Amino acid sequence: MDKSVKLQRREKEFRFRRAGILEQAEESFAAKGFHETTMAQIAAASGFSTGSLYRFFSGKEELYSVMVTEKVRQMYADIEQSASLENSTEGRIRALVLSHFGYVENHIDFYRLLVGHESGLRSEGLMKLREQILAEHRRHVDYIEALLREGIRKRVLRRLETRSLAHSLMGIVAYFKFAWIMNSEGVSLSGKVDDVLELFFRGASGTAGLGQELCMAGKEKTFRQEA
């Protein structure tokens, strides 16, 4: 057999086994938390000896960090892919929110792990994990900002500061997700998409010009104070 073919098979088998370990690690960490989960437990659940597990990961911290980082990266990639399939700005924003909500509904244990994220983890390696998660979040906000900028260019959205607008959308989405995982019994998170879009596109005011009036009143107040 050709040497390159053997190497390809070994690489394929390595990736397959690694994926299985990460899948089992997600279940174990989500069920028990970082501190209560051991490499021996993950190895047994994955069908490996504990020693064999160290062929793939140097220890529990690396396994946890890789699992979380890869899941977060794939989460954002899937959400952005769903949004990119739509043609209009409104359609892309709707698909983005729906995908965020759908992901949480289908991966509730991992999302609980992510938002809780073991507040007691203070090692250098796991602090780096926090920075990696934030980096992925910032990159996702960049994607949303570009989407909103395109909406402004097409005059679908008002000419507002796009970074703040992107953070506002993510803030609304994050709140709905957090509220849902705190009380998910009998409630559809995906069914809340229209509520999010109503808040984002139109705000809480029932008067079309109220936002502009409040903005002008604020400017006049500032002018009087400065005078």
Nearest in space to 197 (alpha carbons), one of 175, 221, 169: 169
If you average pLDDT over each of 31-40, 111-120, 123-132, which comes out highest? 31-40
Residue 197, pLDDT above cutoff 90: yes
Q: What is the pLDDT of residue 121?
A: 62
Q: Which CATH number fits domain 1-57: 1.10.10.60, 3.40.605.10, 1.10.10.10, 3.40.50.2000?
A: 1.10.10.60
Query: Which tokens belong to 146?
Result: 């570009």
Nearest in space to 67 (alpha carbons), one of 109, 124, 10, 123: 109
Q: b/e per residue, 182-191, with b = 16+ CB within 10 A? A: eeeeeeebee
58 Cβ contact partners less than 8 Å away, ≥ 6 residues apart: none
Residue 166, pLDDT above cutoff 60: yes
Q: What is the pLDDT of residue 206?
A: 62
Q: What is the pLDDT of residue 118?
A: 54
Report yes or no: 4 and 89 within 8 Å, Cβ to Cβ.
Answer: no
Q: Tell me if domain 1-57 and domain 60-226 are identical in fold.
A: no
Residue 135, pLDDT above cutoff 80: yes
For helices 3-32 and 108-116, the axis angle rounded to 10 degrees is 70
Return the sign of the alpha-carbon dihedral for residues 146, 196, 184, 83: negative
CA distance 147 to 140: 11
Q: How far is CA 191 from the centre of its chain?
A: 19
Residue 214, pLDDT above cutoff 70: no
Report yes or no: 88 and 184 within 8 Å, Cβ to Cβ.
Answer: no
Domain limits, the chain = 1-57, 60-226
Q: What is the pLDDT of residue 193?
A: 96
Q: What is the pLDDT of residue 210?
A: 45
CA distance 147 to 157: 11
Report yes or no: 72 and 134 within 8 Å, Cβ to Cβ.
Answer: no
Average pLDDT over residues 125-150: 92
Report yes or no: 53 and 39 within 8 Å, Cβ to Cβ.
Answer: yes
70 Cβ contact partners less than 8 Å away, ≥ 6 residues apart: 22
Give the pLDDT confidence of 25-84 residue by residue, as tens digits: 999 998 888 889 999 999 999 888 899 899 999 999 999 999 999 999 999 999 999 999
43 Cβ contact partners less than 8 Å away, ≥ 6 residues apart: 49, 50, 52, 53
Residue 99, pLDDT above cutoff 50: yes
Query: How many of the other CB atoms lie within 10 Å of CB of 97?
Result: 24
If you average pLDDT over each of 10-14, 124-128, 223-227, which comes out highest? 10-14
Lowest model confidence (mean pLDDT) among 17-26, 145-154, 166-175, 176-185: 176-185
Percent of the chain with pLDDT over 70: 85
Fold designation for 60-226: Tetracycline Repressor; domain 2 (1.10.357)
Residue 15, pLDDT above cutoff 50: yes
Query: Which tokens belong to 166?
Result: 């992107």
